[in-house]
Structure 1
């Protein structure tokens, strides 16, 4: 543990987390990451619940994309379920991993350089402390001073991007038996068997031998009570299965659809999209799924399902420019 002499609102500031050095109990920190263009440190909130007995280290992170806040509510509502006296192991929670992005309600980490770079932190892991990209430096701080040595299991909580919606959906690398085990504990609507994306938290952690999931919980910029309930239950299921707490696994009666390819319907011209299908709806190839109208209400384009499958994502913002995604289908091939 590398601490500083700083106290903010009664919360100590740290430069490096080491949960092994903490005593049993509930701990709060501000993690001192990199600085902004005024020289002020970005401070990331960290909550650690250290159990009275040894066990797994479960790391839960939310809002690496700054507009994807649903996981914050999941973490907040999980807290009452965590009692250090009965917990085996440690739970580390980061309810807001990208403070500057959150302040802008932006998916990206904004940096104020000559090109006004907007960095996708979930493509930058494990980061580079000497990079000319401030986002990569920030990612390096998270990876090396928060994640490493503090996680045996990792759940990275996201949502779909602003203007679009997922169901409870997960990216999971099924080539790993440990990831399969972890995925089976979540009450998810859909799972994509995913070989991973370079630079994402999930992919880079799995490569480092740490089972990880990207957990997508609905829409950006909202707290959805059902997504919160299901997200909390998935975490509790994980803790039960890994012997961190007593209890039984409850999948809430949800049957999960597993696919291995996501297929997008893309706007070929701008206008107002009207989606004709709903999330989790089964569709067949050729079935009408959306129309596009112009400002006068004329239908200027019609779109059909590109394949059989299940509706994975829909746009919630009607205005779509050319090249924008209207909806996605998850299928198994």
Structure 2
């Protein structure tokens, strides 16, 4: 544990987390990552719940994409379920991993350099402390000073991006048996057998031997009570199955649809979209998915399903630029 002499609102500031050095109990920290263009440090809230018995370390992170706040509510509502006297192991919770992106309600990490770069942090792991991209330096601080040594299992909580919606959906690398185990504990509507994306937390964690999921919890910029309930239950199921708390696994009666290919239907030009299908709906090849209209209300295009599949994502913002996603399908091939 590398601490500083700083105290903010009664909360100690740290430069490096080491949960092994902490006493049993509940701990609050601000993690000091990199600085902004004014020289002020980005400080990330960290909650550590350390149980009375030694065990696994479960790391739960939300809002690496700044507009994807649903996981914050999941973390907040999970806290009353965590009793240090009844917990084996340690739970680390980060309710807001990208403060500058959150302040802009933006998916990206904004940096003030020569090109005013907006960077996807979930493509930058494990980061580079010497990079010319400030986001890569920020990712390096997260990876090396916050994540490493403090996670045996990692759940990265996300949502769809602004203007689109997911059901409860998982990216899961089914080539890894522990990842399959984790996925089976979540009350997810749909799961993609995911070979991974370089630079994402999920992929890079699995690569270093830490089972991880990307857990997509609906829509951006909202707290959805149903998604909160299901997200909390998935974490409780994980804690039960890994022997960290007592209880029973409860999938809330949900049977997950598992696919191995996602298919995006995108616009050819801009206009006003009207989606004709719903999340989790099964559709057949050739079925109408969406229409696009011009400013005069005239339908300029109709978009149909290129294959059979289940509706994985829909646009919620009617205005669509060329190349924007209208509908996303999940299927098994």
Alignment root-mean-square deviation, CA = 0.3
What displacement does 1:121 show? 0.2
| Aligned position for 1:236 | 236
- Name stretches of at least 5 consecutive residues in structure 2 with no aligned partner: none
Q: Deviations over 1:3-34 (max 9, x none)?
A: 00000000000000000000000000000000
Q: Kindly report structure 1 stretches of 4+ aligned residues shifted beyond 2 Å.
A: none
| Aligned position for 1:257 | 257
Equivalent-residue separation in structure 2 for 1:111 and 1:288 (angstroms): 41
Q: Deviations over 1:77-104 (max 9, x none)?
A: 0000000011000000000000000000
Alignment of 1:155-234 (within 5 A): 155-234=155-234
Equivalent-residue separation in structure 1 for 2:188 and 2:324 (angstroms): 26
What SS does structure 1 have at the residue aligned with 2:85?
coil
What displacement does 1:114 show? 1.0
Tell me the TM-score normalised to structure 1 length: 1.00
What displacement does 1:312 show? 0.2
What displacement does 1:184 show? 0.2
| Aligned position for 1:288 | 288
| Aligned position for 1:6 | 6
Asked whether 1:299 is paired with 2:302, we answer no
Equivalent-residue separation in structure 2 for 1:319 and 1:166 (angstroms): 18
| Aligned position for 1:104 | 104
Equivalenced residue count is 333
What displacement does 1:269 show? 1.1
What displacement does 1:274 show? 0.2
What SS does structure 2 have at the residue aligned with 1:140?
helix
- Name stretches of at least 5 consecutive residues in structure 1 with no aligned partner: none
Equivalent-residue separation in structure 1 for 2:149 and 2:312 (angstroms): 35
What SS does structure 2 have at the residue aligned with 1:85?
helix
Tell me the TM-score normalised to structure 2 length: 1.00
| Aligned position for 2:327 | 327
| Aligned position for 1:135 | 135
